[in-house]
Amino acid sequence: MSNSIRSVIVATGSYLPEKTITSDYFADYQFFEKDGKRVAKSNPVILNQFKSITEIEERRYAAPDQNTSDLGYLAAKDALESSGIDGETLDYIIVAHNFGDVSAGNNRVDLVPTLAARIKQKLHIKNPDCVVYDLPFGCPGWVEGMIQANYYLKSGDAKRIMVIGAEVLSRVTDPHDRDSMIYADGAGAVILEAVTDTNAGIISHKTQSHAVDYADLLTMGSSYNPEKSAEKDLYIKMNGRKLYEYALVHVPQVIKTALEKANTNLYDIKKVLIHQANGKMDTAIMQRVFKLYGDVEFKPELMPMNISRHGNSSVATIPTLLDSILKGKMEGQSIRPGDKILFASVGAGMNINAIVYQY
């Protein structure tokens, strides 16, 4: 593996559905506890508490005629068209997601053919040497796809790779579970190239999987509504309190390890693009990271957040956030040549990963 090759981001793209869902959308929902009892609090109280904890005010939902592969295709198309790159020159297309295509009106997961194959078909890429595959890895899937692409590029096996994160979570959420308000739909895409003799590119990465003790923090389960619990449909379920505790203990250590592998100090990082999972949790994670380097105050501007408007779209949160910053769509946020940034994510598995990248 050549050390002179760096994996450099040369294009980004994103797609966010047009349909905006405010918290008022859930005003008349009937919420139940895990044990099937109605939540005692009134919906206005539930909605206010939800906003204060997650910071989410709005989220995007896919249109009825859109599936995850459609969103992924539109993000990929944006990356190609905004950069002028020919899709036929891609050696790999890696698509991170967790549920495949779930059509509106049902709860069935459709995974054959792969979303990557569907997206390649939609892009009309004929080159058979453009290898495509899916990567289910929880919310950290897009970051892990970037890590895999980095290995292909540094080995000389590939010169140009697209990594897509796409998800339609709105169709796998239980409308009777308060956590359903967290989830959203969206897609982001990044194209990496193998570049020699440059300081830019992926410097280091670190991934961990904690399955034995924590695999059940995010699972699929029946509706909390006792009248629907006997139905065969399964929905994403989260042990929020334990997940929060897990993230605060383990994510900072993974970030610190990635920084150490890059011989980079935390204070050299200009931006932290963390998975937009929960506003309060993400801030607490970074505060813990700073404590590992001494009790220095964490400055929120270091960590751009768009969860308040876009919600948690799983694998799509980081690439859509990156695209927004690079294309000047986030007021007061920019990335300049020479800036070192950090990508980090945590999610089902439980999996954690981080990348140190230099522009």
Domain residue extents for the chain? 5-198, 202-358
Q: What is the pLDDT of residue 2?
A: 45
Name the class of domain 5-198.
Answer: alpha beta
Q: What pLDDT sits at residue 295?
A: 67
Task: Evaluate whether 5-198 and 202-358 have a shared fold.
Answer: yes
pLDDT in tens, 166-197: 999 999 999 999 999 999 999 999 999 999 98
The secondary structure element, H or E, covering residue 326 is helix 317-326
pTM reported for the whole predicted model: 0.93
296 vs 257, 288, 319, CA distance in Å?
A: 19, 10, 29
CATH number of 202-358: 3.40.47.10
Residue 58's identity, in one-letter code, is E
C-alpha 27: how far from its chain's center? 27
Q: How confident is the model at residue 353, as a pLDDT?
A: 98
Can you give the pLDDT at residue 3? 57
**Predicted local distance difference test score (pLDDT) of residue 297:** 77
CA dist 108 and 98 (Å) reads 13
How far apart CA 190 and CA 222 sit, in angstroms, is 35
| pLDDT at res. 1 | 41
How many Cβ atoms from other residues are within 10 Å of residue 237's Cβ? Answer: 20
CB atoms within 10 A of CB 234: 15
Gap between the Cα atoms of 167 and 86, Å rounded: 25
Cα dist. 133→95, 100, 344 in Å? 6, 12, 22
pLDDT < 70: residue spans in the chain: 1-3, 295
